[in-house]
Amino acid sequence: MGKLQLIATAPMGLEAVVARELNELGYETTVENGRVLFSGDYIDICRCNLWLRTSDRVLVKMGQFPAKTFDELFEGVKAINWEDWIPENGEFPVEGRSHKSQLTSVPACQGIVKKAIVEKLKLSYHTEWFPENGPRYVVEVILLNDIALITLDTTGPALHKRGYRRQATEAPLKETMAAALIQLSRWNGHRPLYDPCCGSGTILIEAAMIAWNIAPGLRRSFPSEHWPEIPQRLWEEAREEAFDAVRDDYPLQLTGTDIDPVAIEIAEAAAKSAGLSGEITFKHMAAAKARPEGEYGCIITNPPYGERISNDKEVEKLTRQFGEMMLYLPTWSFFAISPYKEFEQYYGRKADKRRKLYNGRIECQYYQYLGPLPPRN
């Protein structure tokens, strides 16, 4: 088998961040809406699932072809070499989406894809019945502008499910988005980092993992670990490389506060589960009373909105407090994600940079107030 065509899916607005991660891992990329394409081998499925911080999933691109009719969809799917991937006892559910295409019925398309795969596997395994009690291969058909994209999901539960968060506060920030906020900021592990609305502690935990080069997928499993096509030694090799890459030889300056004492308990439990107990300081405290310590630090925060706060007046009050706090921190930088268009007005000045992001389905701006960089040693 030649090089695999792989896809790292990306939340809207984060395609460039995912592409940069892949570039840093050594891959050449092509960026499309919602996805980043690259090529690799079986080992790259292992490595990317372990290392990607801001992508949702790693998919194998099985085929792409025009499909204006069910016959075209059936024949296109049947032409794919499914026997190279799915064993005789493999479980292969089919998921689907359709947008701006003549084939609008997603359940019907899923049924056609399933039937086509079964017919192809019948020819390969010379059987009429498949028990589907073996490894799991989730097939997805995406129809866009009458073009069908057929993929296999190597990831299973989305990559934001790192495995360290057992509980969550209301409307928690996904781990992938938290990692993106950090990567879009100026912060690095040698600078103080403070989150005055830390909630479940996700931003600070992700920051610690970035600073110490801890692969985010180390504490979880993936369905493709059980695929016979990918030798177990490749997963073992990828995990061993990831363990060897950890560099936890310097102290972190990470602090989080929250007005909700239950949130602090949840954050401390998550940090402990991530193996970072004692590395992050969590305190029960209102943001207005916070006075971060150190020079040239960064505040990165997801302040409350929607489910997490009762009214817009509270948002205005909190945002004004942020602006006032930063008057006493002349060497610090401030970063906040918020859907409120009046954020800059409440904060007291326009952001140096803004970037449109989607926190779930909520359109937000990532407001960036850039302080001076630390002097070079």
190 plus 322 within the same structural domain:
yes
| CATH number of residue 265's parent domain | 3.40.50.150
Q: Is 152 helix (H, G, I), strand (E, B) or coil?
A: strand
Domain annotation covers residue 158: no
Beta strands in the chain (DSSP E): 4-9, 30-32, 35-40, 58-66, 94-99, 138-144, 147-153, 193-195, 254-258, 280-284, 298-301, 333-338, 353-359, 362-369
| pLDDT at residue 376, rounded to an integer | 85
136 plus 257 within the same structural domain:
no
185 plus 280 within the same structural domain:
yes
H-state helical runs in 61-201 = 70-78, 106-125, 175-183
Residues 6+ apart with CB under 8 A from 192: 253, 254, 255, 292, 293, 294, 295, 296, 297, 298
Domain annotation covers residue 165: no
* Amino acid (1-letter code) at residue 358: Y
How far apart are the C-alpha atoms of 6 and 257, rounded to whole Å?
40
Residues 6+ apart with CB under 8 A from 283: 255, 256, 257, 264
What is the token pair recorded at 69?
A: 């009719």
Q: What is the pLDDT along the chain (377 residues), one digit of tens a residue?
A: 579 999 999 999 999 999 999 999 999 999 999 999 999 999 999 999 999 999 999 999 999 999 999 999 999 999 999 999 999 999 999 999 999 999 999 999 999 999 999 999 999 999 999 999 999 999 999 999 999 999 999 999 999 999 998 877 766 899 999 999 999 999 999 999 999 999 999 999 999 999 999 999 999 999 999 999 999 999 999 999 999 999 999 999 999 999 999 999 999 999 999 999 999 999 999 988 888 999 999 999 999 886 555 578 899 999 999 999 999 999 999 999 999 999 999 999 999 999 999 998 899 999 999 999 999 87
Domain annotation covers residue 290: yes
H-state helical runs in 9-161 = 15-24, 42-51, 70-78, 106-125
- Of 153, 183, 208, which closes a domain? 153
- 311, exposed or middle or buried, with CB in 10 Å at 0-12, 13-18, 19+? exposed
Domain of 353? 175-216+247-369
Q: Which of 166, 200, 217, 154 is nearest to 301 (CA)?
A: 200
What is the token pair recorded at 136?
A: 């799991």
34 plus 137 within the same structural domain:
yes
70 plus 117 within the same structural domain:
yes
For residue 66, list its beta bridge partners: 147
Domain annotation covers residue 356: yes
204 plus 312 within the same structural domain:
yes
40 plus 188 within the same structural domain:
no
The total of other beta-carbon atoms located within 10 Å of residue 161's CB is 16
208 plus 320 within the same structural domain:
yes
Domain annotation covers residue 160: no
Q: Which of 227, 206, 201 is nearest to 284 (CA)?
A: 201
Residues 6+ apart with CB under 8 A from 319: 303, 338, 340, 343, 346, 347
189 plus 322 within the same structural domain:
yes
Q: Which of 218, 230, 363, 370 is nearest to 305 (CA)?
A: 363
How far apart are the C-alpha atoms of 209 and 189, rounded to whole Å?
10
Domain annotation covers residue 239: no
149, 163 Cβ separation under 8 angstroms: no
| CATH number of residue 68's parent domain | 3.30.2130.30
| pLDDT at residue 172, rounded to an integer | 80
143 plus 202 within the same structural domain:
no
Residues 6+ apart with CB under 8 A from 310: none
| pLDDT at residue 166, rounded to an integer | 81
H-state helical runs in 212-251 = 232-245
Domain annotation covers residue 130: yes
Tally of domains within the chain: 2
51 plus 97 within the same structural domain:
yes
Tokens 């690095």 found at: 188
| pLDDT at residue 271, rounded to an integer | 97
CA-based torsion, 157, 159, 164, 167: positive or negative: negative
Domain annotation covers residue 288: yes
98 plus 36 within the same structural domain:
yes
